[in-house]
C-alpha cells in the first residue's frame, strides 16, 4: 500500500492534560487535534488503546479488542447527563505524572457510576445504539466482560480460577452469567462509552484532515480474554493450562541472556486450519479503529524465538518459522489491502526484509539509532527510500534532548556534522532531518517538539517501574510551535490531504 507523504505527532492519549489524573478522549484531546490542524500535521500516532493487564504498558493487555476504560472522558459523560457535573467540579484538576493507583481509586468509580446511570435512565436512541453496539461486537465483547469480571473476582491468574471456569465449561459459564448479570452490563456500557468517544474523536480527526496511526503488538498477554477464550490457538499445556513455550528474543550485543518476554506463543498450524479467523478479526478491527497500523515485532511473522516456558532466560530458545507469505496473502484478500507498516528495528535478517518487501509493507527508521557507527547509517535519510516511516525517536527511546545529553563526543561530532550546530536545539535538527527525508511518513514524539529532556521519557524497555507516567502540561502547545511545524510541512511537501469524513453522527457517550 502506498502511504501519502505526510508528517505527524506521536502522543498516546494517556499523556494528554485531561481531568481525572490521566489523559483521555475529552476536551484536551480535541485541543491537541486543533493544534495538529494549525501545525498542518496529517498524522496522529497512538499506542495500543487496550486495557493494561500487568503494569501500565499498553503492550500488555487483557484484550486485543477491548478499549481501556481509563481513556473515557468524564467531561463528555457529564455533558450527556451520565455524571453530575458538580461531581467533576470537586475532582482534582491538577496535571502531573500519572498516579495509576490514584486514578484507579478515584476515576474508575465515577466511570462505574456513569455506566449505572446510563443503564437506569437510557431509552430511545441511546438504548438502541448501545444494543446495536453489543450485538455487533458480541463476538469479542461477551468473552471480555466475563473475563474482566471473573478476573476481579478470582484474581489475575485465570488458570488458578475454579477449574470449570478456567476451562470454560458451559454450565459454569452460564451460571456466572446469571449471577453476575449486573456487573457484566456495566462493563458492556463502559466499552460502549469508550468506542462512542473514540469514534467521535476520529470523526473530528477526519474533519481536520488528520489520519490516525494505531499500533498492534504481535503477541498477546497470557492474562487476557483472548488466551482464556481461544486456548486452542495458543501453545498451552493441557494439564495446568500454562504456556509450554513463550516469546522473547535471543542473546545479543545488548543482553547476554536475551529477553524472555513470556507471552504464550501461537499455535500457527491451528490458526492456519481455522483460516486465520482470529487474526483476520483482530486486524480488521484495528483497521476500523485507525487509518494505518504499525505491526510491532514484524520479524515474528517470518521467524520467532521460541523459549521453553520452564527456562528462566532466553538462552535456550530456537528460531521457528512464522506464518510468512500465506498469512499476508490471506489478510490482503480479506481486508482489501494492507494498511500496515512494520516495526523492523534491530537485527533484521534478509528473509524478514524480503517478506516485508514482497507484500509492499513499509519499514521503520529511527534517527537516534543512526549515528553510533557506520553500520547504523542505514537509518540516515540518504540510505532510505519513500517506502519507509521515519522517527526522531519512538515511545521506547529517550527524548531527543535526553538522548543528546547522553552522547559521547564522537557521536555528537557525527550528529553536528550532518545537521549543523542547531541553535534551536538538537531536537529541531533531527526533526528537520526527518521531515526532509524521502520517507513518506515522518513522525515526531510530542516531547521532541516541546524540547523536553529525559524527565519526559515515556518508556524504558526492560524496566518494570516508572514507565507510561508522563503527561503534557496545559498550555504547552504554543502558536509559535504550530507555525514552525507548518513551515516545515510546507517546504518538505508534507501538507495533509483531505480525509473522507464518516457520515455525521450524534454520539451518545
Q: What digits encode the pLDDT tens for the residues 387-446?
A: 999 999 999 999 999 999 999 999 999 999 999 999 999 999 999 999 999 999 999 999
Domains identified in the chain, total number? 1
Q: Is residue 417 part of a domain?
A: no
Q: What digits encode the pLDDT tens for the residues 352-374?
A: 999 999 999 999 999 999 998 77
Can you give the pLDDT at residue 373? 78
| φ, ψ dihedrals at 185, nearest 5° | -65, -40
Rg of the chain on CA atoms, in Å:
23
Q: Would you please indicate which residues are annotated as catalytic (active-site) residues?
A: 296, 343, 396
DSSP characters over 394-448: -TTSPPHHHHHHH--HHHHHHHHHHH---TT-HHHHHHHHHHTSS-SEEEEEHHH
CATH number, domain of 33, equals 3.20.20.80
Confidence of residue 254 (pLDDT cuts 50, 70, 90): low
Q: Is residue 251 part of a domain?
A: no
Does pLDDT of 103 surpass 90?
Answer: yes
Q: Which residue has the higher pLDDT, 11 or 254?
A: 11
Q: In what order do the strands lie in the sheet with 318-321?
A: 259-264, 245-249, 303-308, 318-321
Q: Is residue 182 part of a domain?
A: yes
Q: What digits encode the pLDDT tens for the residues 200-232?
A: 999 999 999 999 999 999 999 999 999 999 999
Q: Which residues pair with 365 in a beta bridge?
A: 390
Q: What digits encode the pLDDT tens for the residues 475-492?
A: 999 999 999 999 999 999
Confidence of residue 20 (pLDDT cuts 50, 70, 90): very high
Could you tell me the pTM of the whole model? 0.96
Q: Is residue 405 part of a domain?
A: no
Q: Which residue has the higher pLDDT, 56 or 91?
A: 56
Does pLDDT of 163 surpass 80?
Answer: yes
Q: Is residue 177 part of a domain?
A: yes
Does pLDDT of 187 surpass 80?
Answer: yes
**C-alpha triplet 97, 479, 39: angle, nearest 5°:** 90
Nearest to 194 by CA among 135, 114, 138: 114
Can you give the pLDDT at residue 238? 95
The H or E element spanning position 307 is strand 303-308
Q: Is residue 463 part of a domain?
A: no
Domain extent, residue 195, equals: 1-215+478-509
Q: Is residue 456 part of a domain?
A: no
Q: Is residue 81 part of a domain?
A: yes
Amino acid at each position: 500500500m502506498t502511504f501519502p507523504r505526510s508528517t505527524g505527532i506521536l502522543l498516546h492519549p494517556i499523556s494528554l492534560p485531561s481531568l481525572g489524573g490521566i489523559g483521555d478522549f475529552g476536551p484536551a484531546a480535541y485541543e491537541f487535534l486543533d493544534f495538529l490542524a494549525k501545525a498542518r500535521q496529517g498524522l496522529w500516532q497512538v499506542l495500543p488503546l487496550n486495557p493494561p493487564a500487568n503494569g501500565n504498558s499498553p503492550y500488555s493487555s487483557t484484550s486485543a479488542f477491548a478499549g481501556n476504560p481509563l481513556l473515557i472522558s468524564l467531561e463528555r459523560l457529564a455533558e450527556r447527563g451520565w455524571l453530575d457535573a458538580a461531581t467533576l467540579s470537586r475532582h482534582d484538576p491538577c496535571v502531573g505524572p500519572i498516579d495509576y493507583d490514584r486514578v484507579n481509586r478515584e476515576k474508575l468509580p465515577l466511570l462505574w457510576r456513569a455506566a449505572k446511570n446510563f443503564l437506569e435512565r437510557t431509552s430511545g436512541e441511546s438504548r438502541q445504539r448501545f444494543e446495536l453496539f453489543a450485538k455487533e461486537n458480541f463476538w469479542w465483547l461477551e468473552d471480555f466482560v466475563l473475563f474482566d469480571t471473573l478476573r476481579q473476582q478470582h484474581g489475575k491468574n485465570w488458570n488458578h480460577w475454579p477449574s470449570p471456569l478456567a476451562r470454560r465449561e458451559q454450565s459454569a459459564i452460564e451460571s456466572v452469567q446469571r449471577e453476575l448479570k449486573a456487573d457484566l452490563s456495566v462493563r458492556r456500557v463502559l466499552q460502549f462509552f469508550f468506542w462512542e468517544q473514540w469514534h467521535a474523536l476520529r470523526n473530528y480527526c477526519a474533519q481536520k484532515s488528520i489520519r490516525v496511526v494505531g499500533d498492534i503488538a504481535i503477541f498477546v498477554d497470557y492474562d487476557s480474554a483472548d488466551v482464556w477464550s481461544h486456548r486452542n490457538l495458543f501453545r498451552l499445556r493441557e494439564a495446568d493450562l500454562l504456556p509450554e513455550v513463550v516469546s522473547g528474543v535471543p542473546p545479543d550485543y545488548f543482553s547476554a541472556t536475551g529477553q524472555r518476554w513470556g507471552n504464550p506463543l501461537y499455535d500457527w498450524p491451528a490458526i492456519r486450519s481455522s483460516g486465520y479467523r482470529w487474526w483476520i478479526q483482530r486486524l480488521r478491527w484495528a483497521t476500523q479503529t485507525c487509518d494505518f497500523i504499525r505491526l510491532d515485532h514484524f520479524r515474528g511473522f517470518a521467524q520467532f524465538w521460541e523459549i521453553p516456558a520452564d527456562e528462566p532466560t532466553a538462552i535456550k530458545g530456537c528460531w521457528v518459522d512464522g506464518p510468512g507469505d500465506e498469512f499476508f496473502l490471506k489478510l490482503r484478500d480479506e481486508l482489501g489491502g494492507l494498511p500496515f507498516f512494520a516495526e523492523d528495528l534491530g537485527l533484521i535478517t534478509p528473509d524478514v526484509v524480503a517478506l516485508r518487501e514482497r507484500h509492499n509493507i513499509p519499514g521503520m527508521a529511527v534517527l537516534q539509532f543512526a549515528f553510533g557507527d557506520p553500520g547504523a547509517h542505514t537509518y540516515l535519510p540518504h540510505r532510505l527510500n519513500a517506502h519507509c516511516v521515519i522517527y526522531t525517536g519512538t515511545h521506547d527511546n529517550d527524548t531527543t534532548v535526553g538522548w543528546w545529553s547522553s552522547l559521547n563526543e564522537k557521536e555528537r561530532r557525527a550528529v553536528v556534522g550532518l545537521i549543523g550546530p542547531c541553535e534551536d536545539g538538537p531536537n529541531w535538527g533531527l526533526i528537520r532531518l526527518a521531515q526532509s527525508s524521502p520517507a513518506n511518513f515522518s513522525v515526531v514524539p510530542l516531547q521532541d517538539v516541546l524540547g523536553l529532556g529525559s524527565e519526559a521519557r515515556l518508556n524504558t524497555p526492560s524496566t518494570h517501574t516508572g514507565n507510561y507516567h508522563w503527561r503534557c502540561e496545559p498550555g504547552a502547545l504554543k502558536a509559535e510551535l504550530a507555525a514552525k511545524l507548518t513551515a516545515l510541512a510546507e517546504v518538505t511537501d508534507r501538507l495533509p490531504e483531505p480525509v473522507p469524513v464518516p457520515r455525521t453522527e450524534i454520539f451518545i457517550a
